[in-house]
Structure 1
Amino acid sequence: METFFLSYIKEISLDVSSIFLLVGTLVAIYMTRWIFRWRNPKCNGTLPPGSMGLPLIGETIQLVIPNASLDLLPFIKKRIKRYGPIFRTNIAGRPVIVSADPEFNHFLLRHDEKLVESWSMDTFAEVFDQVNHPRKYARNLALHHFGVESLKSKLLSQMEDMVRETLSIWSTHESVEVKSQSVMMAVSFATRQIFSGDLDRTQVNFAELFRDLLGGLMSFPVNIPGTSHHKCLQIQKKVKILIRELVRKRVAEPDSDTQHHGDLLDHIIEDSKSTESFLNEDFIVQLMFGLLFVSSESVSTTLALAFKLISEHPLVLEELTAEHDNILKNRENSNSTLAWNEYKSMTFTFQVINEVLRLGNIAPGIFRRALKDIPINGYTIPSGWVIVIASSALHLNADQFEDPLQFNPWRWKEIQPSMVAKCYMPFGSGMKQCAGAEYSRVLLAIFLHVLVTKYRWVKVKGGKIVRSPIVRFPEGFHYKISERNN
């Protein structure tokens, strides 16, 4: 009997071992096949060259490795050198085509909504809820309140008053951190146009909130406590609760002339009384949140970088100052505020702004998604794949911009409009160019006008630049602002 049981147990052990071996073999076959499919995605043709990186995370880690300069990210530079201006990769588990080809990019943007559609990174889509929102309505609303006509009629003088007040306050401090203080200035001004200053009365530092928000937007989209992405979502939640309270308060106000504010929120509430079903409270809150963010981040980063670059290039400061001094000298009334024709006459100022924007590359790129298979140079971009137009690679292309890392505003004297259309897109391109592009340029120009005619600045500390992939200033840009001795 004992021999029988031992034989039986041995037979069972052999069967279990066989089962484990079979399961292990099947798992190995499945994993091998899955990894092969990961590295070789389906395509009705030949994919552009490149690598899909590690399973699940792709090449995300390589992308976010910081670069301690304004130069192109090593991630992009190395792949362009190895694969050419159009290559494939995988970011956070999503297949992506990166394009630094000016002709192909121009072709794509001319066929917007036919070959490609607008797309946002998962973190942006989650934070800003952009999917399925009526972009056309939001764009028209922004153009109405922040576009050229509004700039001419009221915003120009309001901006100048705000800049003068801001710089006057800065000059009383031992030093100011330009980036964070510029965020505060830009957010404060935007809230007056959107909410008539309602947010100014809250006990929340919106500059700090929006600064931290940006860091989370460019993080790996893992919503776990302690991660940048989780912090980003918590900030979004906090800000939107405050905005929602303000929206509800405004909606509850009596409909009378004495309660009419004439700001953007009034405009959208009036529109919500129409038959447009999408103009609900959630949409209004989200739109306000997005406008506050975009109105502050690009301007503040550009201003901080302008402080650094202009102060490091005395000849630029000399010509910039001469241009603005000349504007003041040619006025009939020396006490008058800046006029629209004076703004439009700032030729060298525009060249300086263009050059700062070119080097800064504030946005990580222009994002589109293929609506159908797109053939390009013998390759095929599959339908549904994300396409990233790498604006930084265009702006720092030595074939288009001689000595591209050199801050040289004079280069813009010779640059042709046709080249600008294909190789320079700090605010996007074509019909979908950022609705706030002119607003940002005006604010930057006015700030420089007041700064160089009334003040001088000296760096106190900081100044380190990191690109990963957006420009950041980890130590801040601390400057002493003092009144100019004429």
Structure 2
Amino acid sequence: MWSVWLSVISLLIVISTHWVYRWRNPKCKGKLPPGSMGIPLIGETLDFLVSNNSLDTPPFIKKRMMKFGPIFRTSLAGRPMVVSSDPEFNYYVFQQEGKLVEQWYMDSFSKLLGQDVTRLSNQRNIHKYLRNTILSHVGPEALKDKLLPYLEDAISQKFQGWSKLPSLEVKKSLAVMIFKLTAKLLISYDAEKSGDNIDDFFSNFMEGFMKLPINIPGTAYHKCLQKRQKVVNLITNIYEERKRNPEIGKGDFLDQILMDMKTETFLTDKFIIYVMFGLLLASFETISSTLTLAIKLLSDKPKVVQELTEEHEAIIKSREDANSGLTWKEYKSMTFTHNVVNESLRLASVAPGILRKTIQDIEVNGYTIPKGWSLMVVPSAIQLNPNIYEDPLSFDPWRWQGISANVTAKNFIPFGAGMRTCAGADFSKVFMGVFLHVLVTKYRWTIIKGGQVMRTPALGFGDGIHIQVLTKHA
């Protein structure tokens, strides 16, 4: 009997040893990039999720870059993955969308957006349709023709309310404002009339999403899914009412997509609802995180605030009517403001990584990235590269006066790159520019609590940054 048990145990040991060996040494037709696959199944996920109380590139990435170079292999969330901070290789990969790589999402994010949406959005014709439709509503022409005064009015009204409060938490307040504003633009949702309490919908949303995807009550990821469902329910109610009563007609994104259902077979009810959710999520996170960081950085750099103020006051003084709203020409003339926005985006690096999946073997620097592997491009490692940006952790908007377009094409990717560059990039930058215009011309602020900046690996702010906003004459 003992001999039978010894044989079984020996067999299990041999099988386990072989399995571990295969995990640590994946099959490859060529030579894999250097690195480690970590623990079977878990990989190096736990190390990747360790928080870092700094704006710097996360330690997980930085340590491996120093040990293995700009391209290395690892395993995250059970997937074999190559991580790249090589700007030349990244630029090449982004140009090969649909040929060598395709968009890919981690399972946790795929569940949030809906697996049908993430699967269908990889199809070039569907992606092109969505991109063109989004641009028609929030792209440069829409911003120039009608959205600029709308944004200025909405931001001004919000500041008036903030100036009456003893304090406010910046990230949450910005997230709520942006959610209300973009929801009104996309689906004509009026938060004030609806009576819904949306303040908690996106509170600490990304922090929860970046935790381990364990859907058990009490976990951060479970709370994240619950918040997702609240937003999906809200969108579903608006969608179903509009579909029942098409004569309501708002002329918004939802109206257009409902009209296109007659000709575009991929536009199903579920697909539309989760596309709406994805757009709201994408818009609020980049803008709110970047502007929160900008306020923190500006608070520490009075010289930057002074130059910003001088630029915007000069715009107002040059008008025939000082109380008239911003024009597109004035926005385009905000040279220093654009530098502040770019510098804030560079340091924020809101996206922890831009993900793709290889659909062919890829050769790079003598290594082979096998077909079916995931590829992560790390914006912070690129945008905080000391070889490109001198003293990279320093908030220095003046550095943008001497940076050429050739450099930024490969070393500045806050909105991604290639054919999948975020369609809301211009909207985000205009929003931030208008926000800064209203802030420095009419208000002053003081940080009264908090101020910690961290990566989780998403950009986070600890217990929050709390400020008091006062009108300039107060």
Shorter-chain TM-score tier: over 0.9
The partner residue of 1:375 within 343, 363, 366 is 363
Aligned-partner SS, 1:441: helix
- 5+ long unaligned stretches in structure 2: none
CA gap of 1:36–1:172, structure 2 versus 1, over 3 A, is same
Whether 1:191 and 2:183 are equivalent positions in the alignment is: yes
Whether 1:396 and 2:384 are equivalent positions in the alignment is: yes
CA gap of 1:164–1:198, structure 2 versus 1, over 3 A, is closer
Deviation string 1:134-157 (CA, Å, 9 cap, x unpaired) is 322221221111101111111100
Tell me the equivalent position of 1:58: 43
Deviation string 1:15-41 (CA, Å, 9 cap, x unpaired) is x11111000000000000000000000
Does structure 1 conserve the Cα–Cα contact (< 8 Å) formed by 2:104 and 2:356?
Answer: yes
Tell me the equivalent position of 2:299: 311
Whole-Å Cα distance in 1 between the matches of residues 239 and 217 of structure 2? Answer: 30
Tell me the equivalent position of 1:83: 68
Does structure 2 conserve the Cα–Cα contact (< 8 Å) formed by 1:183 and 1:296?
Answer: yes
Q: Which amino acid aligns with 1:182?
A: L
Q: Which has the larger Rg?
A: 1
- How high is the sequence identity, in percent, across the aligned residues? 48
Map 1:10-89 → 2, pairs under 5 A:
16-89=1-74
Does structure 1 conserve the Cα–Cα contact (< 8 Å) formed by 2:362 and 2:371?
Answer: yes
CA gap of 1:181–1:316, structure 2 versus 1, over 3 A, is same
Tell me the equivalent position of 1:264: 253
Question: How far 1:131 moved relative to its partner?
Answer: 1.7
Map 1:174-323 → 2, pairs under 5 A:
174-253=166-245, 255-256=246-247, 259-272=248-261, 274-323=262-311
Whether 1:123 and 2:108 are equivalent positions in the alignment is: yes
Whole-Å Cα distance in 1 between the matches of residues 47 and 195 of structure 2? Answer: 40
Whole-Å Cα distance in 2 between the matches of residues 137 and 235 of structure 1? Answer: 28
Whole-Å Cα distance in 1 between the matches of residues 195 and 12 of structure 2? Answer: 57
Whole-Å Cα distance in 2 between the matches of residues 102 and 303 of structure 1? Answer: 26
Whole-Å Cα distance in 2 between the matches of residues 435 and 311 of structure 1? Answer: 30
Whole-Å Cα distance in 1 between the matches of residues 226 and 313 of structure 2? Answer: 47
Question: How far 1:237 moved relative to its partner?
Answer: 2.2
Whole-Å Cα distance in 2 between the matches of residues 291 and 200 of structure 1? Answer: 21
Whole-Å Cα distance in 2 between the matches of residues 370 and 232 of structure 1? Answer: 29
- Normalising by structure 2, we get a TM-score of 0.96
Question: How far 1:201 moved relative to its partner?
Answer: 3.6
Tell me the equivalent position of 1:415: 403
Question: How far 1:271 moved relative to its partner?
Answer: 1.0
CA gap of 1:385–1:438, structure 2 versus 1, over 3 A, is same
Question: How far 1:198 moved relative to its partner?
Answer: 4.3
Whole-Å Cα distance in 1 between the matches of residues 214 and 129 of structure 2? Answer: 32
Whole-Å Cα distance in 2 between the matches of residues 225 and 19 of structure 1? Answer: 44
Does structure 1 conserve the Cα–Cα contact (< 8 Å) formed by 2:207 and 2:456?
Answer: no
Tell me the equivalent position of 1:158: 150
Larger deviation, residues 60-69 vs 216-225: 216-225
Q: Which amino acid aligns with 1:249?
A: E
Deviation string 1:71-100 (CA, Å, 9 cap, x unpaired) is 111101100000000000000110110000
Whole-Å Cα distance in 2 between the matches of residues 250 and 200 of structure 1? Answer: 19
Does structure 1 conserve the Cα–Cα contact (< 8 Å) formed by 2:206 and 2:458?
Answer: no
Q: Which amino acid aligns with 1:263?
A: D
Map 1:321-332 → 2, pairs under 5 A:
321-332=309-320
The partner residue of 1:360 within 342, 348, 354 is 348
Larger deviation, residues 157-166 vs 241-250: 241-250
The partner residue of 2:372 within 369, 384, 391 is 384
Q: Which amino acid aligns with 2:52?
A: N
Aligned-partner SS, 1:89: strand
Q: Which amino acid aligns with 1:76?
A: I
Tell me the equivalent position of 1:341: 329
Question: How far 1:199 moved relative to its partner?
Answer: 4.7
Does structure 2 conserve the Cα–Cα contact (< 8 Å) formed by 1:396 and 1:404?
Answer: yes
Question: How far 1:132 moved relative to its partner?
Answer: 1.7
Larger deviation, residues 103-112 vs 433-442: 103-112
- Normalising by structure 1, we get a TM-score of 0.94
Deviation string 1:314-365 (CA, Å, 9 cap, x unpaired) is 1101111110001001112212110001000010001001111111111112
Question: How far 1:203 moved relative to its partner?
Answer: 4.0
Aligned-partner SS, 1:209: coil
Question: How far 1:200 moved relative to its partner?
Answer: 4.3
Larger deviation, residues 218-227 vs 166-175: 218-227
Whole-Å Cα distance in 1 between the matches of residues 194 and 216 of structure 2? Answer: 29
Q: Which amino acid aligns with 1:291?
A: L
Whether 1:463 and 2:455 are equivalent positions in the alignment is: no
Whole-Å Cα distance in 2 between the matches of residues 191 and 423 of structure 1? Answer: 32
Question: How far 1:389 moved relative to its partner?
Answer: 0.7
Whole-Å Cα distance in 2 between the matches of residues 483 and 199 of structure 1? Answer: 26
Map 1:444-459 → 2, pairs under 5 A:
444-459=432-447
Report how many aligned residue pairs link the two structures.
467
Whole-Å Cα distance in 1 between the matches of residues 180 and 388 of structure 2? Answer: 38
Does structure 2 conserve the Cα–Cα contact (< 8 Å) formed by 1:397 and 1:404?
Answer: yes
Does structure 2 conserve the Cα–Cα contact (< 8 Å) formed by 1:187 and 1:207?
Answer: no
Whole-Å Cα distance in 2 between the matches of residues 140 and 218 of structure 1? Answer: 30
Whole-Å Cα distance in 2 between the matches of residues 342 and 388 of structure 1? Answer: 38
Aligned-partner SS, 1:464: coil
